[in-house]
Structure 1
Amino acid sequence: MMMTKTSVVGVASALVLAAALLATSAIAEDGAVEATKTKTEPELLSQKCLPNEKNEFVFKVNLWEYQYEVEGCEGVAPTLEIKRGVEYTFVQKDATNWYHPLGLAYYPDGAHEDVPELEFPTPDECSEEEYLCNPGDGVKQAPLYCIDGSCETYENWNNGTVSGLDVYEPLFQRPEDQWEAEGGEQSYSVKITIPEDSKTKEFYYFCHIHSGMSALVVVTDPAQDANSLVTPLAADYYGTPPEAFDVQCGTYDNVTVFDTEKDSFCPGQTFLCDTSGTPFSQCMEAIDCKMNYEMRVKEKEANKLAVFMEQMIPHHWNAILMSRIALKHATDSKGYDDEDLNVPQLMRNIINVQMQQIQEMQGWLEKYSEPTEICPAA
């Protein structure tokens, strides 16, 4: 059986509210998940989002669906609505923003896809037929990065000393305690103004470290000759709606089939002994079967490093999914609020750092290896 490389966009971005799960009657009386009652409908994705009274959009990251949220706005990956000539601030103070520095680009995923970003001066690529995103001759529109209230300007834009992306992004990759300390009282933020004479009517915010986290920013009062983006956001960018089982687990990674068809994927195998039959144990058993199955890869004698990465990716995914399940089902466990070990911070570290490593390994495999081949179950 051939398995294509896992896409973080597809597996980490399926979007639905937990409330929709209840509406499907997918929860049995004993609290267990009835995985046969499957599809939920995608809800609260790309909802319109207005700034607060300070013209701020206050960001958080949903660690289960792995998309941005904005305070006061519904759902994930909200569509931000702004006007020309107004300065807006994207605030990244909440702890979930760690490892998720915001960027602004004319097309989804910015630097990850090598598409033009909002920069000063405007990238030459914006005048090419492939993009057609030039806001106009002499128009200045680019993110101004701020750390503890100290912001760069167009005069010192991204000079590597005041703030700028080349200072901002590396701080987000430091240990979380250091990131928080460097942010100070005012923490981290990004300012953006679309000038009155700009031809831009929409662009995207995205994460500079993780792909698959883009969403729209719409200028609600665009110029009459405003640019239309050549390529819209792909219809399947956020993946398919998750199964009810995935929603209950908090995994959002197509885990359901490893619960409903475990005997096919992991015949005769048990990963938790003397289980309680609760959603927690169901979810853990399913993700362990998933990892076991996906790590059974055909050896590539010609490239041993490819084998390492093919097995390490599902191994990393298992750690991420375990952390998501724990954050959803184990927060009342003894020791969750331990004074010495910051357990929620540990979970965020596992999710964010290993997600980045997965994407890096996927990129390497695309360059140097053929699609992964899964060995049949014994």
Structure 2
Amino acid sequence: MRKDCRKMESTNTEMKMQYILDENKQLVEIPETEMLPVEYPIQCKLISAFEVFVRVPQTENYWISNYGRGVNNHRNPNKNKFYEHKQGQCHYTVYEVWRTPEKIRGKLTGKIIVETTKRETSPEELVAKCFLKQYRGRFKVWHKNGDFADNWYKNLIYVSDKDFRNLKAGKITWKELGYEQEYIEYINSARSKAMAAYGAIFSRCKGEDNSESAHKCYDDAEMCQEWKDDSRLFIKQYLELYYEVPGESMAVDKDLFGNGSKVYSPETICILPQGLNTLLANSKKHYKDGETPDNVLPLGVRYNGKINKYYGQITYFGTEDIIDLPYRDTIEEAFADYKKFKECDIAITVSKYRDKIPEYIYEKLLTVRVEPY
């Protein structure tokens, strides 16, 4: 697998390209040489594969992201844990640290004088300072879409004091100003996230995961030839589809839109939060271990040989308790019980994700029906 990974990354590695979102949030590729490395990286849960935290200049404990999220470990003895500030249209207080060599009668003593200065600021000011190029005479920050709570860096533009007053009064639009605004790009995790997903699918489709459950789920899965030939095509689609749900990892799914296809392809994949992916993994068509004298049992159905009865068995989303449904004389009756409860479980769970997932995924999830095999 290591050799295969090197092969599928080779083209991108040679080109040294990275992925960002343009001002219209469309995916674009730019040379890595046009991006800056993050000097003081931190481990913080990102809300997007394109989010980057950089340390606020002249501070030692404050970071701001290009999505307008501020964090700090100023009062935290464990410097790896961060307090997240409020987001949107709000006020920030940061502490700047100034270090100057001590001099006595004009001679350096070898000591450093440390001074801390309290500074009042705002998310948009910090985002602009870190991610926008400054222009002469333009020191005020304007939100292009008029939403002062949206501090995404490419929603911001530097304007003059006069421009700001006219914009706020509605006398002019930011486009009518005719200003160019250059943005500072930092190397993000978008490409590495996409390559990790590609590698997982690539390995999965080759049957390299030796766990029994993975073998049963993925033994006949395939990756389309165009993605095998050029990993960049997968990366582009993955990042165009990518979003995040707070507190959950994200998974590539091929079954929701696949109509039974076993192939990961541009037509079949979508991105799901792991919770929904796990929920659907228990309602997809797949074979069960237990066999009756007649056939393999349908999904969710169990057989009690002592009394020669069938019953449904379900574990509701978010719980670990296994619930046995009533005994039935036939497989069909037992599966009907399971189907009814499982589809209710799916509907209730999907409703909880209503505002967290794209509309097209939500609508498709409402059509999911549990089949026996």
Q: Same fold by TM (over 0.5)? A: no
Structure with a larger share of its residues in strand = 2
TM-score (norm 1): 0.29
TM-score (norm 2): 0.29
Higher relative contact order (CA 8 A, sep 6+): 1
Larger radius of gyration: 2
